[in-house]
Amino acid sequence: MNEIAKQTLPTFVVEERAQADRAVAAEIEALVRAKPTAALGLATGNTPIGVYAELVRLHREAGLDFSRVVTFNLDEYLGLPLGHPRTFRCWMCDHFFDHVNLAPDNIHMPDAGLPPERAVESCARYEAAIQAAGGLDLLILGIGRNGHIGFNEPGSTRDSRTRIVDLAPLTRADAAATFGSLDEVPKQAITIGVATILDARAIRAMAFGPSKAEIVARTLSAPIGPDLPATFLRQRAHVTLHVDRDAAARIGERNRP
């Protein structure tokens, strides 16, 4: 193992994923109370659902105010029409945006409903908007079963920025149930890059359940590089990984590639 491969990622193992949801939401709460104009990086998918539920609860029951918070989502499918129920925008409305007091102008999603030639320009604009907001204060992240972060699929380099990507077969297969069939899953997406993710001042990565056990173990032990983009998280300070017992089950197994 070389020096880089030894870099570690502080990992918190909890009995129940709800404990991780509450811990990550509490960090976001503390940030937003200290800095009401905080810029958050937001993920979709099964992993962060509980964090959003807890933030909605904190908004309703503890007055957590999102009125000046700025949000940037990590990714969006390319080519789905605006308002399509499987867009990540709709997902975010269902799980978070429609339930808190974010200002609509402060919500940013990659502009993936555009034709491809205009979508390319929109990627640079998205990077610029993140910069204009002062960079991301805290970003939450799931880890895909193939080690993707955002839609930075295997092969994504450390210096990648917001761009159009081809979705990996496993990513599309994992989305097939949600779309109804594999054929309906988009083949491309816009994602913020690995470099954009690692620029965030704090990152809270999460993985839950037995289907993530293998990738969690490899994220912590495989050589850092584009073959497994989640390994890049080990290169930055201020990154923590939150996993439940099932997702932690294979950490530390010997001879893991």
SS3 249: coil
Residues 6+ apart with CB under 8 A from 98: none
Q: Does 110 bind ligand PGA (CB under 6 A)?
A: no
Q: Please identify, using beta-carbon distances, which residue of 47 and 221 lies nearer to ligand PGA.
A: 47
Question: What does the H/E/C string look like for 4-23?
Answer: HHHCCCCEEEECCHHHHHHH
Q: Does 178 bind ligand PGA (CB under 6 A)?
A: no
Q: Does 229 bind ligand PGA (CB under 6 A)?
A: no
- Burial string for 92-105 (b: 16+ CB within 10 Å, else e) reads beebbbebbebeee
Q: Please identify, using beta-carbon distances, which residue of 52 and 66 lies nearer to ligand PGA.
A: 52
The residue range among 31-39, 42-50, 89-97, 129-137 that interacts with ligand PGA, by the rule CB under 6 A, is 42-50
Q: Which of 159, 191, 153, 155 is nearest to 171 (CA)?
A: 153
- Are 86 and 80 contacting, i.e. CB atoms less than 8 angstroms apart? yes
- Are 54 and 22 contacting, i.e. CB atoms less than 8 angstroms apart? yes
- Say how far apart CA 5 and CA 1 lie, in whole Å: 6
Residue sitting closest to ligand PGA (CB): 45
Q: Does 45 bind ligand PGA (CB under 6 A)?
A: yes
Q: Does 41 bind ligand PGA (CB under 6 A)?
A: no
Position among 37, 46, 67, 101 found at the interface with ligand PGA (CB under 6 A): 46
Q: Does 47 bind ligand PGA (CB under 6 A)?
A: yes
Q: Does 144 bind ligand PGA (CB under 6 A)?
A: yes
Would you please indicate which residues are annotated as catalytic (active-site) residues? 75, 146, 148, 153
Which residues would be at the binding site for ligand PGA (CB under 6 A)?
45-47, 142, 144, 148
